[in-house]
């Protein structure tokens, strides 16, 4: 329900500023199959086309209620430890191991993914894929926990090659410019970082569905969207696979602000 509070405010903000978004990933499955959260899930994802995503980042600090909800994204001064923007609740606490020493908003979050156009030719396609991987690594400044051992070693070597945040920021900005080079209007396919390409037509329009008692947008062709990503999404996974998505947590408190725990559960070294 705390995640739902963030989502409801996010939708109000997007409606006010004419920004389009869609429920994504397991959140979209939950909307279609359960009319709300998947019962064993504990995260929330939305996705936006690049033009709306960039506009969101420009508008949030000026127009949003930052006393309640903050948009966190890596900038030239510090890393958010995530490749995408996150909207965080200021009055909650959700501290991850990878950001335990970071002086950033440590509240409960929803993820805001972005979609870029996919080039049709093989060489630009492969180079864009390379840029996405490098961008994600340099923006998070950490080797993802779920990578294979070999890929984690390669990721750590790259982070050593680019040791300073200022350098990582500049290189990641160059990668992002290439990722955005292929305008969605001119492409047949779109994708999020390192994910399989999806037909652009999936995201032409949205429809509203019931999500925990609220009307929330999903792609009009949600069936194609979810089948591309998950196959038979109406089939329940086995009991052993029904696990929460959130891991690597150090501490959480859904009733009190993260600011109460600075120096206790995060920024301990400082």
State the average pLDDT over residues 193-219. Answer: 95
pLDDT at 270 over 70: no
Distance CA 11, CA 215 (A): 10
Give me the pLDDT at residue 223, please: 95
- Cα 175 from Cα 177, distance rounded (Å): 5
pLDDT at residue 245, as a whole number? 77
54-70 pLDDT tens trace? 999 999 999 999 999 99
pLDDT at position 68 is: 97
């Amino acid at each position: 329900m705390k995640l739902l509070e963030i989502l409801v405010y996010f939708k109000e903000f997007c409606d006010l500023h004419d920004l389009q978004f869609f429920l994504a990933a397991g959140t979209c499955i939950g909307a279609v199959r359960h009319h709300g959260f998947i019962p064993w899930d504990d995260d929330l994802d939305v996705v936006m086309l690049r033009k709306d995503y960039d506009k969101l980042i420009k508008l949030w600090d000026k127009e949003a209620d930052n006393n309640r909800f903050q948009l966190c994204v890596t900038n030239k001064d510090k890393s958010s430890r995530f490749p995408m923007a996150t909207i965080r609740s200021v009055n909650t606490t959700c501290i991850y191991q990878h950001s335990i020493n970071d002086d950033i908003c440590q509240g409960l979050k929803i993820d805001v993914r972005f979609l870029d156009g996919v080039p049709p030719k093989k060489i630009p396609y492969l180079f864009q894929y390379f840029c996405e991987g490098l961008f994600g690594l340099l923006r998070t400044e950490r080797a993802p926990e779920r990578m294979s051992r070999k890929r984690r070693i390669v990721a750590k070597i790259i982070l050593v090659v680019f040791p300073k945040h200022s350098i990582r920021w500049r290189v990641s900005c160059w990668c992002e410019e290439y990722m955005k080079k292929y305008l969605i209007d001119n492409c047949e396919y779109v994708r999020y970082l390192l994910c399989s390409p999806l037909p652009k037509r999936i995201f032409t329009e949205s429809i509203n569905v019931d999500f925990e008692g609220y009307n929330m947008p999903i792609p009009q062709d949600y069936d194609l969207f979810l089948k591309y990503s998950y196959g038979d999404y109406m089939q329940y996974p086995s009991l052993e696979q029904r696990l929460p998505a959130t891991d690597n947590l150090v501490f959480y408190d859904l009733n009190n602000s993260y600011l109460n725990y600075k120096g206790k559960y995060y920024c301990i070294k400082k």
